[in-house]
Structure formats: C-alpha cells, structure tokens
Chain A
C-alpha cells in the first residue's frame, strides 16, 4: 500500500475486555513504532521494532500492554483487561530505520467504557 494503515479506525470496548489493534507498515520499512496520544497530551512512545532485533518495550505503561510483529510486516498491539485510562488514539509509524523519517498511520481511536 501507499502508506501505513491501521485497523480498526475506531474501537469501543467495555472495561476489562481485551483489544487488538493492527498496523500494516509501508512495505520495506524495517522499523515500526507504536505511540499513544491521549486527549490534550503529546505522543507517548510505547514500543519499537527494528528488523530482527529484540523490541524496545521501554514505553509500555503496564504489563497489560504487549505487541508483536511478524518479520518486517504486520504488528499487533494488544491491551488486556482494558481500563478507562487506556482510552486514547494509538498511532503506528514505520521507517526505513535509523535516521529515517517516520511515516504515521491514521491511528485507532480506542474508547473504553
């Protein structure tokens, strides 16, 4: 595809349920990032994948958050036992690697009731 795509665009869930958010990076981009944008806040780094290296998980806010990436392709961000404070826009970005421009997807707006 032409750009980074994310699905779903919107997700409404009940507190305590698990959710999966998907990101399809630009083909050939070795680096993939997840960020969270809460209302009135800047973007908060969550996790970073680079090729076959171990992911940098230093931004994950709790052990309820996890992410996987299949090779240099699709990534899934999973939030278990969602809480209301998890409500935010989750943004995915990809790049060619170090010093490469990060291209952002449109985001998934998650609402936890």
Chain B
C-alpha cells in the first residue's frame, strides 16, 4: 500500500482565518514533505521533515507553519493567508534518503485551497 491521505480535499478560507491541512501515511516512511502547486506548474517544495524534525524550509512565509507530531502525521497550519496562496497543496512521503541513494516520494491527492 502506497497511500498518502490528505484532508480536507477542498478548503475555502478568508484572509483572517486559521485552518490546518492534514496528511497521514502508514508506510513507515520517516521523511515527509509539503509542496505547493499552482495551475499548469510543477510542484514546488515547501518543507521537508526527517525523523519528525524539520530538515528543509524553502524560505516559506511564516503564515505557513508545519508540524510533524509523529512519524505518520504531518500538518500544515495556515494563518493570515493571501489570495495568491490559493493552490493545490500536496503532501508526500518517502524513506529517508541515505548516502548516495534516492527514494521514491509518494504523493497524496492534495488539498485544493482557495483564499478569499
């Protein structure tokens, strides 16, 4: 089973709202990722967690706050977003890349976020 589950599937929020996106996997992966994807563009990496610790932050604005409460769960807390933050937010997981090897990232179906 290579399933990554994201909730909710769709989210509409105002610029003053606080909301959270959730991601769950049960593949035993210890690396988890958040991506942002705008229409007709490839996914852009936002954050990477490895062994529940934040390893990569691609200079993402502080209105996006990631959290990895355990090895199966990944959250993205949203606050004071702007309309330009509207996008498809994707979660992915993989085994932790070790040495020179790469590991397959498995993606969830995404959360379609609209900021009004």
Q: Do A and B come from one complex?
A: no
